[in-house]
Amino acid sequence: MSDTHVIAVDKLHAAIRQVVAGFGSSASEIETVASNLIEANLTGHDSHGIGMLPRYAEAFAEGGLKPNAHVRTVLDAGAMLRLDGDAGFGQVIGREAMELGIARARQNGCCIVALGNAHHLGRIGAWAEMAAAADLVSLHFVNVISRGIVAPFGGADARFGTNPFTAGVPVPGRPPMILDFATSMVAQGKTRVAHNKGELLPEGNLIDNTGKPTRDPRYSVLEPFGAILTFGAHKGYGLALLCELLGGALASGMTQHSHDNDKKRILNGMLSVLIDPAALGDRVAFDRETQTFVEWVLASPPQEGVAHVRVAGDPERESRARRTAQGVPVDATTWQQILSAAAKLGVDPAAVARAAGTA
């Protein structure tokens, strides 16, 4: 296993801002992208944090990621918005799309946001957190246009992406429930992290290039490629298809349907449904029941070896508190890949390492 750097959050910000500046981004884009990626690391989702920068640099070099793009409204039907992300940084496009959708949901009681052609939207939970902070319930169905990496249930090769499903529900008296997961057994970025750390994946996550079960993450990272399996057998597979049909066909008019998608850019389509619980008739009952039910569930006696029952969103908040205090662990391979990407972007890697305190 390789060594790990533990980098203080303020130093990581200083270092990552330098790397993102290499894309030629505006000052506000640098801040938004760096903060969003570091936030993913803070919440424990290293797969969607700063380790994505080398891939973004490759996508940028191919012309598939366009810095300084902004969300464009294609259709404005009041409570329905169709938006185009112009292949811009998903960290910026996702934020702008949610700001528009939140404003409309406040006016109309709900809003359906169909976002297409955004470059990688990162940790989708960030968008549900934005909606929950605005006191809205939200659902997000996301597809991925990139090299197919997930096999259909019963299939022996990869046909689509890790298609995340995400939902947020505000809960009175405690932080919101933020359910946010890839519909694959494991997020692709986590196979990359495992590969970089020299670790094996648990059983049942992956098949090799001949369709046989394997624990070696290389089959998700290096040719010849195998495929990740969907979670929850046919049920998770069904949800993955729904994400493709809603986030892809409906929201962005783009689905995955060929093997020749070897470009480095990652495009996401996202169908978001935002609901103002106050506008739906009985806010008092909603607040009472969400709070009472969550308290009831949390009071379940923990099984042996479990500290306490949690609701979705709690692990990310616990990780954020811990890593903010103790620093963000970044394995040496990932850190080296980030420094190499900086060099390709015309940024002095030694200066980045000095800013992070890893020089």
Phi then psi for residue 293, to 5 deg, are: -65, -45
At CA 76, angle to CA 73 and CA 80, rounded to 5? 110
Tokens of 212: 């046989």
Q: Are 194 and 2 in contact (CB under 8 A)?
A: no
Closest distance of CB 218 from ligand NAD, Å: 19
Contact 107, 142 (CB under 8 A): no
Residue with Cβ nearer ligand NAD (79 or 153): 153
Helices (H), 244-331: 283-298, 314-326
- In sequence order, the 6+-apart residues with CB closer than 8 A to the CB of 185 are 204, 205, 206, 228, 229, 230, 231
Given the complex with ligand NAD, which of 194 and 341 has the nearer CB atom?
Answer: 194
Minimal distance in Å, beta carbon 291 to ligand NAD?
17
Binding positions for ligand NAD, rule: CB under 6 A: 45, 47-48, 120-125, 142, 144, 162, 164, 166, 178-182, 187, 190, 268, 310-313, 315-316
CB of 272 to ligand NAD, least distance (A): 13
Residue 26, phi then psi, degrees to nearest 5: -65, 165
Tell me how far, at minimum, the Cβ of 115 lies from ligand NAD, in Å. Answer: 12
Beta carbon of residue 349, minimum distance to ligand NAD (angstroms, whole number): 27
Which residue's CB is nearer to ligand NAD, number 21 or number 121?
121
- Amino acid identity at 122: G
Q: Tell the smallest beta-carbon distance from residue 82 to ligand NAD (Å).
A: 20
Q: How far apart are CA 302 and CA 322, in angstroms?
A: 22
109 vs 153, beta carbon nearer ligand NAD:
153
Of 182 and 353, which has the nearer Cβ to ligand NAD?
A: 182
d(Cα 268, Cα 258) in Å, to the nearest integer? 16
Nearer to ligand NAD, 108 or 181 (CB): 181
Shortest CB 125 distance to ligand NAD, Å: 5
Q: Of 100 and 126, which has the nearer Cβ to ligand NAD? A: 126
**C-beta of 351: minimal distance to ligand NAD in Å?**
29
Cβ proximity to ligand NAD: between 34 and 352 the closer is: 34
The residues, ordered by sequence, that sit 6+ positions from 285 with a Cβ below 8 Å of its Cβ are: none
> Which pair of tokens denotes residue 37?
């990626």
CA distances, 119 to each of 20, 55, 181, 210 (Å): 15, 11, 18, 31
Whose Cβ is closer to ligand NAD: residue 328's or residue 355's? 328
Which amino acid is it at 162? T
What one-character-per-residue DSSP string does 175-219 give?
EEEEEEEESBSS-HHHHHHHHHHT-PPPTTSEE-TTS-EE--THH
CB of 105 to ligand NAD, least distance (A): 21
Nearest to 145 by CA among 185, 117, 165: 117
